[in-house]
C-alpha cells in the first residue's frame, strides 16, 4: 500500500507547486475509495495527499477527516506526531541542518543560524519565492565529517557558516534553465 | 471464577475482572487518575500500579485482568514508592498554584499528592508555559495544568462522539486539545462540558460569570432575577458535603434570597410552559402528517438540551427540520421575564438582569446566541453552573446546611412535578406524554404514579409506547394509535439512535435527546465527581420532588394557565411564536480560518 504512495510521488514530483487543492480532491477521494473499510487508512492517505501537494493544507485534512469519518483532531494528532508530515507549503528545495550531537558540538547551530539569516526564514518555514524550506535533522549518519547539511537528497559535509551562500547558489538558478534541464 | 489474594486476603472474583475491580470488591481502594468508569482503561497515568508476586514490573491495576492464583499487594513499600515517583513526575510537569486554582478543593492530583505524603518534589521537569484558551463561551482550558491523562479525550470521543480533543504533537511537546492546538472556538465543540466534568485537575473549567453576577447584585439600579434549573436542587448539596441525591430546593431558595436576588424563580415554570408548546407542536405535526401523509417533520425531537442542538447543527443537519422549534426552558424563561414579568411588576426590562443557575456549560453558549434576544435585550444575561453557585454561596459566608427552607416567588416560581423530571433522561418525554395523553383523551395517563418506568434508568437508548384510546374532539384521528417514543442520553447514544431512525423513519413519533449521560443531573456543570451511582441518587431525588408536588401535569400549572390567559393567548400562537420559538441552521465542523 505504501508502494502506491511512492508511485504517486514520482508521477507528480515535477508539478507539485502548480497543483491546486481543488485539483487533487478527486484524486484523494479516489485513493480513499481504495482504502475504505480497511483499518489504518489514515496514514497512507495522508502520505498520498502530501506527495500530491507537497504539504497538507487544512482544507484537505478536513476533507480527509470527513471522508474517513475520523475526527479532525485525531487527523491533526497524527499529522503533528510524525515530522514527515507538514502543513506548511514546501519550498522547491528542502535544506536540512543536522543538529545531532556530533554536528551540534562542531558548529551545527552556527550553520543553521547562518542559513536562517541567508534565507531570511526560521526553521520549518519556507521562503516567499517557495524555493527553500528550512528544517532541522537528527543525524544523517555522516558524523565523521560534521557539521552536515542535506539539501534535498544531497549531503554536504564540513559546512562552514561563511560558505553558506556558495552552498545555496547552485539551487538558485532560474526556472527556465531548470525546466530545460528537466525535459532533457 | 478466579482465586486470588489481595494484601493477604483470599478472594474469589470473576474471571475477566481487572485487579482494580477485584480490589474494590475487597473494599481496598487503589488510587487512579486516568481511569474512567465504563470506558476502556487506557493505562496512561500509572498511578494505579500494584505489585504482583512473581512479576518483575508493577502492572497498572486498571488495565490488568486477574489470573488464577495471583498474589497482589496494593500498598507494599515498593508500590508506595513507585506510586510516589509517578505522582512526583506528574507534578514536575504541572504548572499551577493550588492557592489560586479553581480546583483547589476537589483536585484529584492535589489530593493524591497529599495522600501519598509528598511534601517536596525531587524532580524538576520542563514546565509547560501557561497557555490559557478563553476562546470558548462556555469553557476555559489551561494546558499548563493538564497532566495528559486523556480522560477528556475519551469522554469527548467515546461518550459524546464529538472528538474535538486529541493529543497533538509528540514527546515533551505533546498537548491535549483541538487540532493543531487551535482555539476551542474554531472547532465543533458542542460546549457540553463533559470534559470539564471528568478532568481531574484545573485544566478545563467553565467560563465563570461569578464576577458579572456579583456586580449586577451590587448595582442598586438593577432588578436581578434568578431562575434555577430542576437538576440543581438534587445536586447543589454536594458542594456542601451533603450526600448525592439530597434535595435542597428550599435551602437553595433561601440562599439565593440572601445573596440579594430581587426574585427567585424556577426554570420549572418554563419547563411546564415548554410542555404546553412542545406537546401542542407534536400533536399539530401528527395531525398534519395524518392529513397530508408527509412525515418529514416526524419524529419530533426535543430541543431543551443546548449541547444537542449544537451537535445537530454541526453533525446532523438532516435532523434540524425535525427538532421542535421550542426554545429551551432557560430561554423561554428569559424572554418572558423581560416582557410578561417586567410589564407585570412595572420594571423597565433594560434595568432587568436575568441570571440562570444551570447544571450545564452549554447553557452559557445558548444564552449568548444572537437568536436569543426576542425581548429586545439579551434574554438571559448570565449563567452560573451548579458549581459556580456553590462557590458564590461559600464566598458570601452563607452557612448553607444550616439554612431554613423558603418557597420560590410567584408567578414564575410556580411549577408542577412534570417540570422537575426535565432534569433526568426520560423525564421530558414522560412529562410530555402525561400532558399529551390528558389533552387527547381527557384523562390522566393510566400508569402507576404517572411514571413511564421503562423511560427511567441509565440505559443509553430507551423506547416506550402509549396507545391512545377514548380520544376526544379533534384528536379522534389518534384513536387506537400507538405513540412510539425513544429516548437517548449521551451524544454517542444520540448518534446511534439517529442512525436507527434514518433506517426506520416511521418507527417513532417523538424522540428525546439529552446531551449528558443521565440527563441534566449529570451535566457538565454539576458538582464533581459524577459517577453512575451519583446519577442514580440524583434521579431518585428528582422523582421524589415530582411525587411530592400536588400538581404533576404541566397543563395544570395555574401560573402557566394565567400566562396564556393574560399574555400569550394560546400555545403556538402569534406571541408564543415570537417569544418562545426559534430556528436552527447548519454550522461547519471546522471554522475555515
Ligand atoms: S490543578 Fe490541582 S494541583 Fe494543579 S494547581 Fe490546581 S489544585 Fe493545584
Ligand atoms: S465540551 Fe463536550 S464537545 Fe466540547 S470538548 Fe468538552 S467534551 Fe468535547
Ligand atoms: S485536560 Fe484534564 S482530562 Fe484532559 S488530559 Fe488534561 S488533565 Fe486530563
Ligand atoms: S488509572 Fe490505571 S493507568 Fe491511570
In chain A, which residues have their Cβ closer than 8 Å to the Cβ of B178? 73, 76
CATH number, position A173: 3.40.30.10
Do A174 and A117 lie in one domain? The reply is: yes
Considering its fold, how many domains does chain A have in total?
A: 2
d(CA B226, CA B224): 7
Residue A8 lies in a domain: no
The set of cell numbers assigned to B244 is 448525592
Do A109 and A33 lie in one domain? The reply is: no
Do A57 and A135 lie in one domain? The reply is: no
Residue A136 lies in a domain: yes
Determine, for residues A76 and B180 on separate chains, whether the beta-carbon distance falls below 8 Å. Answer: yes
Q: Between residues B49 and A89, which one has the greater pLDDT? A: B49
Q: Between residues A173 and B345, which one has the greater pLDDT? A: B345
DSSP letter for each residue of B458-513? S-SEEEEEEE--S--GGGGGGTT-EEEEEEEESHHHHHHHHHHHHH-TTS-SEEEE
Q: What positions of B carry a catalytic annotation?
A: 278, 281, 304, 324, 363, 366, 371, 520
The whole-number pLDDT of residue A1 equals 31
Residue A88 lies in a domain: no
Determine, for residues A77 and B178 on separate chains, whether the beta-carbon distance falls below 8 Å. Answer: no
Determine, for residues A76 and B187 on separate chains, whether the beta-carbon distance falls below 8 Å. Answer: no
Q: Report pLDDT digits (tens) over B2-19.
A: 999 999 999 999 998 999
Partner residue facing B169 (CB), from A72, A75, A80:
A80
B474 touches chain A (CB under 8 A): no
Q: Which ligand is nearest to the CA of B60?
A: 4
For ligand 4, pick from B34, B37, B38 the residue to mutate: most ligand atoms within 8 Å of CB. Answer: B34
- Tell me: pLDDT of B311 over 90: yes
Domains and CATH numbers, chain B: 2-75 (3.10.20.740), 89-206 (3.30.70.20), 210-269+330-402 (3.40.50.1780), 274-327+415-580 (3.40.950.10)
Do A67 and A138 lie in one domain? The reply is: no
**CA B488–ligand 3 middle distance (angstroms):** 26
Residue A165 lies in a domain: yes
Residue A160 lies in a domain: yes
Residue A1 lies in a domain: no
pLDDT band (50, 70, 90) for residue A35: confident
List, in order, residues 6 or more apart from B536 with CB less than 8 Å away.
B245, B458
Mean pLDDT of A154-180: 80
A66 touches chain B (CB under 8 A): yes
List, in order, residues 6 or more apart from B363 with CB less than 8 Å away.
B229, B306, B328, B330, B356, B383, B525
pLDDT band (50, 70, 90) for residue A61: very high
Range 84-123 of A in CB contact (< 8 A) with B: 87
Ligand 2 near B189 CB (within 6 A)? yes
**CA B176–ligand 4 middle distance (angstroms):** 17
Ligand 2 near B164 CB (within 6 A)? yes
Q: How far is A80 from chain B (nearest CA, A)?
A: 5
Work out whether strand B300-301 and strand B510-514 pair parallel, antiparallel, or are unpaired. Answer: parallel
Do A107 and A172 lie in one domain? The reply is: yes
Ligand 4 near B35 CB (within 6 A)? yes
Q: How many CB pairs under 8 A join A and B?
A: 52
d(CA A23, CA A27): 8
Mean pLDDT of B397-407: 97
Do A141 and A72 lie in one domain? The reply is: no
In chain A, which residues have their Cβ closer than 8 Å to the Cβ of B165? 73
Helix (H, G, I), strand (E, B) or coil at B2: strand
Ligand 4 near B30 CB (within 6 A)? no
Determine, for residues A80 and B590 on separate chains, whether the beta-carbon distance falls below 8 Å. Answer: no
Residue A9 lies in a domain: no
The whole-number pLDDT of residue A14 equals 39
Domain extent for A25: 16-81
d(CA B442, CA B438): 5
Give, as one character, the DSSP assignment of residue B242.
Answer: P
- Tell me: pLDDT of A81 over 80: yes
Mean pLDDT of A133-143: 84
Residue B47's nearest CA partner among B133, B136, B139, B149 is B149
Q: Report pLDDT digits (tens) over B476-528.
A: 999 999 999 999 999 999 999 999 999 999 999 999 999 999 999 999 999 99
- Tell me: pLDDT of B553 over 60: yes
- Tell me: pLDDT of B443 over 60: yes
Which residue of A lies nearest to B158 if distances are taken between CA atoms? A71
pLDDT band (50, 70, 90) for residue A151: very high
A15 touches chain B (CB under 8 A): no
Helices B386-395 and B210-218 cross at an angle (nearest 10°) of: 50
Helix (H, G, I), strand (E, B) or coil at B212: helix
Do A99 and A23 lie in one domain? The reply is: no
B195 touches chain A (CB under 8 A): no
In chain B, which residues have their Cβ closer than 8 Å to the Cβ of A83? 170
Do A24 and A62 lie in one domain? The reply is: yes
- Tell me: pLDDT of B115 over 60: yes
The whole-number pLDDT of residue B161 equals 96
Do A99 and A77 lie in one domain? The reply is: no
Residue A7 lies in a domain: no
- Phi-psi group of B171: left, alpha or beta (phi > 0 → left; psi -120 to 50 → alpha; rest → beta): left
At which of A24, A49, A81 does a domain end? A81
The set of cell numbers assigned to B16 is 475477566
List, in order, residues 6 or more apart from A31 with CB less than 8 Å away.
A4, A8, A44, A45, A48, A49
Partner residue facing B163 (CB), from A66, A73, A83:
A73
Do A102 and A171 lie in one domain? The reply is: yes
* Average pLDDT for chain B: 95
pLDDT band (50, 70, 90) for residue B447: confident
Q: Between residues B130 and A78, which one has the greater pLDDT? A: A78
At which of A56, A81, A106 does a domain end? A81
Do A122 and A173 lie in one domain? The reply is: yes
Do A76 and A97 lie in one domain? The reply is: no
Partner residue facing A62 (CB), from B157, B166, B590:
B590
Q: Which ligand is nearest to the CA of B118?
A: 1
- Tell me: pLDDT of A183 over 70: no
E runs forming strands in B253-340: 263-266, 300-301
B175 touches chain A (CB under 8 A): no
Amino acid at each position: 500500500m505504501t508502494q502506491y504512495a511512492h508511485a504517486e510521488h514520482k508521477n507528480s514530483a515535477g508539478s507539485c507547486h502548480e497543483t491546486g487543492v481543488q485539483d487533487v480532491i478527486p484524486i484523494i477521494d479516489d485513493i480513499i475509495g481504495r482504502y475504505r473499510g480497511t483499518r489504518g487508512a489514515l496514514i497512507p492517505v495522508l502520505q498520498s495527499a502530501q506527495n500530491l501537494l507537497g504539504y497538507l493544507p487544512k482544507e484537505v485534512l478536513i476533507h480527509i477527516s470527513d471522508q474517513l469519518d475520523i475526527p479532525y483532531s485525531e487527523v491533526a494528532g497524527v499529522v503533528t506526531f510524525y515530522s514527515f508530515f507538514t502543513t506548511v507549503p514546501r519550498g522547491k528545495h528542502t535544506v536540512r541542518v543536522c543538529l545531532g550531537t556530533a554536528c551540534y558540538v562542531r558548529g551545527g547551530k552556527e550553520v543553521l543560524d547562518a542559513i536562517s539569516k541567508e534565507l531570511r526564514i526560521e526553521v520549518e518555514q519556507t521562503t516567499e519565492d517557495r524555493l527553500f524550506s528550512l528544517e532541522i535533522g537528527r543525524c544523517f549518519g555522516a558524523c565523521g565529517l560534521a557539521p552536515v547539511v542535506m539539501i534535498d537528497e544531497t549531503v554536504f559535509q564540513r559546512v562552514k557558516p561563511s560558505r553558506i551562500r556558495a552552498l545555496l547558489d547552485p539551487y538558485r538558478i532560474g526556472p527556465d534553465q531548470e525546466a530545460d534541464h528537466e525535459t532533457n | 471464577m478466579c482465586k486470588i489474594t489481595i494484601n493477604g486476603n483470599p478472594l474469589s472474583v470473576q474471571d475477566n475482572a481487572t485487579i482494580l475491580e477485584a480490589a474494590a470488591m475487597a473494599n481496598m481502594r487503589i488510587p487512579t487518575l486516568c481511569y474512567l468508569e465504563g470506558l476502556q482503561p487506557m493505562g496512561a497515568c500509572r498511578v494505579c500500579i500494584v505489585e504482583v508476586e512473581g512479576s518483575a514490573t508493577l502492572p497498572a491495576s486498571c488495565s490488568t485482568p486477574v489470573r488464577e492464583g495471583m498474589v497482589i499487594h496494593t500498598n507494599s513499600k515498593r508500590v508506595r514508592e513507585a506510586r510516589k515517583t509517578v505522582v512526583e513526575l506528574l507534578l514536575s510537569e504541572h504548572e499551577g498554584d493550588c492557592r489560586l486554582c479553581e480546583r483547589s478543593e476537589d483536585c484529584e492530583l492535589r489530593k493524591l499528592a497529599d495522600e501519598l505524603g509528598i511534601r517536596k518534589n525531587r524532580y524538576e521537569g520542563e514546565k509547560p508555559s501557561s497557555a490559557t484558551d478563553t476562546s470558548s463561551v462556555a469553557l476555559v482550558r489551561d494546558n499548563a495544568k493538564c497532566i495528559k491523562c486523556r480522560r477528556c479525550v475519551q469522554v469527548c470521543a467515546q461518550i459524546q462522539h464529538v472528538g474535538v480533543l486529541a493529543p497533538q504533537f509528540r514527546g515533551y511537546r505533546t498537548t491535549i486539545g483541538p487540532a493543531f492546538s487551535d482555539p476551542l472556538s474554531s472547532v465543533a465543540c458542542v460546549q457540553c462540558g463533559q470534559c470539564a466534568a471528568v478532568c481531574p485537575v484545573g485544566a478545563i473549567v467553565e467560563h465563570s460569570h461569578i464576577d458579572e453576577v456579583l456586580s449586577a447584585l451590587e448595582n442598586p439600579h438593577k432588578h436581578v432575577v434568578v431562575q434555577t434549573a430542576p437538576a440543581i436542587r438534587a445536586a447543589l448539596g454536594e458542594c456542601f458535603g451533603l450526600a448525592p441525591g439530597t434535595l435542597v430546593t428550599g435551602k437553595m431558595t433561601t440562599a439565593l434570597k440572601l445573596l440579594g436576588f430581587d426574585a427567585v424563580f424556577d426554570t420549572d415554570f418554563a419547563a411546564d410552559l415548554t410542555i404546553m408548546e412542545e406537546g401542542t407542536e407534536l400533536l399539530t405535526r401528527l395531525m398534519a402528517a395524518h392529513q397530508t401523509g408527509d412525515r418529514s417533520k416526524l419524529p419530533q425531537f426535543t430541543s431543551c438540551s443546548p449541547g444537542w442542538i449544537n451537535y445537530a447543527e454541526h453533525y446532523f443537519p438532516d435532523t434540524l427540520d425535525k427538532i421542535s422549534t421550542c426554545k429551551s426552558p432557560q430561554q423561554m424563561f428569559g424572554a418572558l421575564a423581560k416582557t410578561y414579568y417586567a410589564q407585570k411588576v412595572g420594571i423597565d426590562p433594560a434595568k432587568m438582569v436575568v441570571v440562570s443557575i444551570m447544571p450545564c456549560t452549554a447553557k452559557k453558549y445558548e444564552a449568548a446566541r444572537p437568536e436569543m434576544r426576542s425581548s429586545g435585550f439579551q434574554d438571559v444575561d448570565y449563567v452560573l453552573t451548579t458549581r459556580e453557585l456553590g462557590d458564590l454561596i461559600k464566598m458570601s459566608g452563607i452557612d448553607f446546611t444550616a439554612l431554613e427552607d423558603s418557597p420560590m416567588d410567584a408567578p414564575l416560581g410556580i411549577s408542577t412535578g412534570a417540570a422537575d423530571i426535565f432534569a433526568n433522561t426520560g423525564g421530558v418525554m414522560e412529562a410530555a406524554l402525561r400532558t399529551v395523553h390528558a389533552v387527547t383523551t381527557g384523562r390522566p395517563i393510566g400508569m402507576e404514579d404517572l411514571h413511564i418506568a421503562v423511560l427511567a434508568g441509565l440505559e443509553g437508548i430507551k423506547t416506550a409506547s402509549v396507545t391512545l384510546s377514548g380520544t376526544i374532539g379533534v384528536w379522534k384521528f389518534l384513536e387506537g394509535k400507538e405513540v412510539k417514543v425513544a429516548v437517548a442520553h449521551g451524544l454517542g447514544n444520540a448518534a446511534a439512535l439517529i442512525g436507527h431512525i434514518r433506517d426506520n423513519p416511521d418507527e417513532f413519533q417523538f424522540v428525546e435527546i439529552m446531551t449528558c449521560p443521565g440527563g441534566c443531573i449529570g451535566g457538565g456543570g454539576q458538582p464533581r465527581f459524577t459517577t453512575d451511582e451519583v446519577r442514580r441518587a440524583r434521579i431518585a431525588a428528582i422523582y421524589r420532588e415530582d411525587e411530592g408536588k400536588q400538581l404533576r401535569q404541566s397543563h395544570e400549572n395555574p401560573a402557566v394557565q394565567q400566562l396564556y390567559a393574560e399574555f400569550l393567548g394560546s400555545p403556538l400562537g402569534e406571541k408564543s411564536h415570537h417569544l418562545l420559538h426559534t430556528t436552527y441552521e447548519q454550522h461547519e465542523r471546522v471554522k475555515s480560518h
